[in-house]
Amino acid sequence: MTSTTDTWNQKLTDAKNSLTTQISSSVANGLASIDLKANGGYLSIAGNGSTSKVWLGGDNLYLTGDTHVEGDFFLTEVNNSLDSLKLDTSGMFLKQGGDDIGWIHTNNLVDHEQYDGLLFDLKAKGDYMAWGAQNANGPDGDYPIKLAWWRSDVAKAIGDDTVAGFQFSDPVQFDKNIHIPNANGELSFAKTNLSGNATTSPYPYFGRASGNAGFAYGSSAVYMVQGGNWSRVVNTHDPFKPDGGAYQNLQFTTMVSNNTYYPALTNQEGKVGILFGSTELYLMRDGKPYPLSGILK
């Protein structure tokens, strides 16, 4: 008695023989035959003696070996209504929800056609571009954005002080100078040893690439570099002690004399210092200002 399994096996064998006969009679010259196999729910198609195969299984199509496509190549949704990817000689075109989003391709510069490059172009329907990376300890997680470019309406929608343009969300290292168009000289982020001693821990520096003019940042102080020399920047609202071991502090303050308010540099007690008038300089002793013009007579 023939079982149901034997019947289906015979039907598959008959179908295979029939398809093999039909396909073999229509294949291009140079391909001797095509071998069809039904195995474990998959249908494979391969040329005799070839390692390249087409595997059909469920809703998936698998290609092994080298794949040669004549003409444009499309990947479409199951309902065949929206292109999601197109490959042709112009590059790769990407769509989302039927809208053209981006184009990855090669090109050359306008008026400089001898220079070729790779372009990532965001089309008018695209709202942003981003480079993301999974965290090393979260291989199954999301892809946090590390570098992004936002259009203005997207930046407003995101909020949180997001602005249109580029946004870095990871540490950034500058290894080269910063060029400012039409400016005399370049700027740089670098490091500097203020004392000139290479064994001293270097401070972060921002300024002229030559290192002769800029600012260096210590753990609790800011230093101005000018002509290769440096001096500490002080808060003019608070008393400060000059470098060199001065025994008392100075302060920038406002002093009143004859109902007139003068900017002044005095000691911390405000008893001795200099007042700056619009046309006159005053020396102050024991809290009383004296015009310098009267002293010099």
Nearest to 214, CA basis, from 202, 183, 206: 206
Spatial distance between the Cα atoms of 112 and 131, rounded to a whole number of angstroms? 29
Quote the pLDDT of residue 20: 58
Between 294 and 297, the more confident residue is: 294
Name every residue whose Cβ is closer than 8 Å to that of residue 170 and which is 6 or more positions away in sequence. 146, 147
Task: Say how many CA atoms lie within 13 Å of 238 toward its Cβ.
Answer: 5
SS3 letters for 73-141? EEEECCCCCCEEEEEECCEEEEEECCEEEEEEEEEEECCEEEEEEEEEEECCCCCEEEEECCCCCCCCC
Round the CA-based radius of gyration of the chain to a whole number and report it: 38
pLDDT attached to residue 78:
44
pLDDT digits (tens, 9 = 90+) for 35-76: 555 555 555 555 555 555 665 665 666 666 666 666 656 655
Closest CA to 169 of 153, 149, 152, 141: 149
pLDDT for the residue 39 = 54
79-91 pLDDT, tens digit per residue, is 455 557 777 788 8
**Alpha-carbon gap, residue 123 to 62, rounded angstroms:** 31
pTM of the model: 0.55
Spell 132-163 as b/e; 16+ CB within 10 A means b: eeeeeeeeeeeeeeeebbbbeeebeeeeeeee
264 touches 284 (CB < 8 A):
yes
- CA atoms of 12 and 14, how far apart (whole Å): 5
CB 266 within 8 Å of CB 284: yes
pLDDT for res 28:
47
Q: What is the structure's pLDDT at 12? A: 59
The position carrying tokens 């399994």 is: 5
